[in-house]
Structure 1
């Protein structure tokens, strides 16, 4: 059986990413800069010669836009199965959606948790702090959040393994990917800097994930070189 790997990319840079606003289940489109970054990603993945068997994104617009651009650059758009899975959505920030990042992470969370620097908090502490402060009651508990993320990626990998293995191109979100990495390797720092268009690679075998790369920007860099030569 062929090995099973998920090449998990963070979506391209969006309007809210650019101005530093919280973007969970709310959505803004990719900027022109963001679209170009994903063109680089797709071109770099194509140059690497990675054969993809299927493509999966979250159901949010920014990941759908991203995976469409990437597949077009790879030359596989419409040629391999593609579907959306809402389990690999970004975190839900409830009533804090659209707030400036600094207000949430340097203001609300430290006040709720009684700490000075939210960057020292675990993902579980952040999730539960947001849920405690969310007056709308929309945000998810850590138990719900972590379960949906892990089962979402496991489902993609299990299905692919059952089909004989291969590679899946997956587009998800920054904190969602970082949460998966943290669940698989709890000793890794939680403040992972996962850039837009970076690639995290996980191998799946017999019900277990192994992390092979986190936040890899080499595909984007190679794609940028190739596009610059045109």
Structure 2
């Protein structure tokens, strides 16, 4: 087996991110700030040659992917790259959730190992589908460089599996802000996380 470089990118800031509303499988467009930060990241990514580009089916991820890829390359969508499904919370303001479902939401944020979804997915379910996606890519490409545009919790759930962490550590996996990059290397049947964070221009070695 050769070497595969994965660049997992979180979508840019959205209107609901700015307004304090949870999205999950629902959607809102990128803000001007989100588009600008995506264009800045694009300046860096254009220096790299990608063998494939994947995106979550969510509009915010697809919008991010299209800005990132200025030159013609097919963007393949995959449902497994969606954000965690948040059930009754989707589209709701966080302040309202804190009033109506406070204990569950505080568990989600502070005691994730005790989080029980209200009609949505568990962290374990998201981790399972993200790992399945990664394994399929490894099987399909063997070598190369792959760009994946997805979501914050989805990336964190993948990192839990790769780094053999517990659910209680999901919020300790690095700063995954809008347009942050998580670079994962697969080489000689080993998987390692090389970088997590915001990058522009030449801050990340290639």
TM range (shorter): 0.7 to 0.9
Residues 11, 66 of structure 1: 8 Å contact kept = yes
User: Taking structure 2 as the reference length, what is the TM-score of the superposition?
Assistant: 0.84
**Residues 17 and 208 (structure 1), Cα distance of their counterparts in 2 relative to 1, 3 Å cut:** same
Give the helix-richer structure, 1 or 2. Answer: 1
Structure 1 partner of 2:28: 28
Instruction: Structure 2: state its 5+ residue gaps.
Output: none
RMSD across aligned positions (CA):
2.4
What is the distance in 2 between the residues matched to 1:19 and 1:209?
37
Matches within 5 A, 1:65-214: 65-72=63-70, 75=71, 77-78=72-73, 81-104=74-97, 106=98, 111-112=103-104, 118-122=108-112, 124-126=113-115, 129=116, 131=117, 134=118, 137=119, 139-161=120-142, 165-185=143-163, 186=165, 189-191=169-171, 192-205=174-187, 207-214=189-196
Structure 2 partner of 1:55: 53
Matches within 5 A, 1:212-223: 212-215=194-197, 217-219=198-200, 222=201
Between stretches 2-11 and 85-94, larger displacement belongs to 2-11
Question: Could you list the per-position Cα deviations for residues 149-186 of structure 1 after superposition, in whole angstroms to 9, with x for gaps in the alignment?
Answer: 2112222232221xxx1100110001111111122221
Q: What is the number of equivalent residue pairs in this alignment?
A: 198
What is the distance in 2 between the residues matched to 1:193 and 1:108?
28
What is the distance in 2 between the residues matched to 1:112 and 1:86?
26
What is the distance in 2 between the residues matched to 1:84 and 1:5?
19
**Residues 210 and 21 (structure 1), Cα distance of their counterparts in 2 relative to 1, 3 Å cut:** same
Shift of 1:193: 2.6
What is the distance in 2 between the residues matched to 1:36 and 1:3?
32
Question: Could you list the per-position Cα deviations for residues 15-47 of structure 1 after superposition, in whole angstroms to 9, with x for gaps in the alignment?
Answer: 11111111110001111221111110110222x
Structure 2 partner of 1:227: none
What is the distance in 2 between the residues matched to 1:101 and 1:183?
28
User: Taking structure 1 as the reference length, what is the TM-score of the superposition?
Assistant: 0.76
Residues 38, 67 of structure 2: 8 Å contact kept = yes
